[in-house]
Chains A and B, each alone.
Chain A
Amino acid sequence: MKAAQLKIKSHIHIVHNRIIWNNELIYSGRETDFPSFIKKAYKDIGTDYPKFFKMDNLSKLGFLAADILLGNTIREPGREHNIALVFSNNAASLDTDRKHQKSIQDKENFFPSPAVFVYTLPNIVLGEISIKHMLYSENSFFIFSHFNADYLYDYANSLIETGKATEVLCGWVDYDHEDYEAFVYLVSAEGTTEHTKEEILKLYRTK
């Protein structure tokens, strides 16, 4: 498959208490904090994944975005798919890392949570998405100062052109100090939107 033939099959945005899938508002909440918002959205949308509430905020954000997109796009759920994952953000897992640091600050009150080790780090969100949707494929999580359409575009093209994946789920999933944004899109042979740097930026800026 040549890069010039690739399309953006589907895209999703989670930001400012709203979930917009393919330009359609599918959830809007009035919650004043992220944990309440994502919990309500998860239940309202009917997502079902036993480990969801174990995840940290970054993972919940990325998992829900990918789950809505893939859940509505994958034709044969329950079968292995060759969809690579290329995610990125600015804050890595700093928000949870700070909480963890706080829990080990006092030698007299030293009780780090084992779950933090298991359900934190940017790569965890990729793992949970892969488990839920049976993606035994390439995955990477990059840290950038800002949304980097050029890099994601080149990386997705390279994965598909070299036969390492048939589709690529690309994303910007960032969470820090209650500021959050998820923008996830699927690069595929199918779709109506051209896969170009300009289109990626246009979709990213439309919130």
Chain B
Amino acid sequence: MSDLKQELKEKIITQLNLEDIAIEEIADTDPLFGDGLGLDSIDALELIVMLDKDYGIKLTDPKEGKKIFESIEVMANYISEHRTK
């Protein structure tokens, strides 16, 4: 699980172009949106694409993302349970 969390942090930094954030600055329980990493609605759409592309998880309702993308920890748990690749 810790490997997946690390992988997610790397992917988020690369795919969302978070040039000024280092992996070690993202705690597993930090909120990804709002006061945490400060991601926005376009980032949320990018994360939905990432779930599909890298883990074979299709979110049919974008509102689901609100819960799933709460933090790295929540994301990692969700991916572990639902991944198809």
Chain A interface residues (CB < 8 Å from chain B): 39, 50, 53-54, 111-115, 118-119
Contact = CB atoms under 8 A, between A and B. Distances in A.
25 contacts: A39-B19, A50-B38, A53-B17, A53-B18, A53-B19, A53-B20, A54-B16, A54-B17, A54-B42, A111-B49, A111-B52, A111-B53, A112-B49, A113-B46, A113-B49, A114-B42, A114-B45, A114-B46, A114-B49, A115-B42, A115-B43, A115-B45, A115-B46, A118-B42, A119-B42
Contacts of A54: 16-17, 42
A53 B17 CA distance: 6
B12 to A, nearest CB: 13
Contacts of B18: 53
A113 B18 CA distance: 16
A119 B19 CA distance: 16
Nearest to A54: B17
Contacts of B20: 53
Nearest to A111: B53
Nearest to B15: A113
Contacts of B46: 113-115
Nearest to B50: A111
A119 to B, nearest CB: 8
Interface centre among A53, A114, A118 (most CB of B within 10 A): A114
Given A53-B18, A112-B49, A115-B42, 8 more contacts: A54-B17, A111-B49, A111-B52, A111-B53, A114-B45, A115-B45, A118-B42, A119-B42
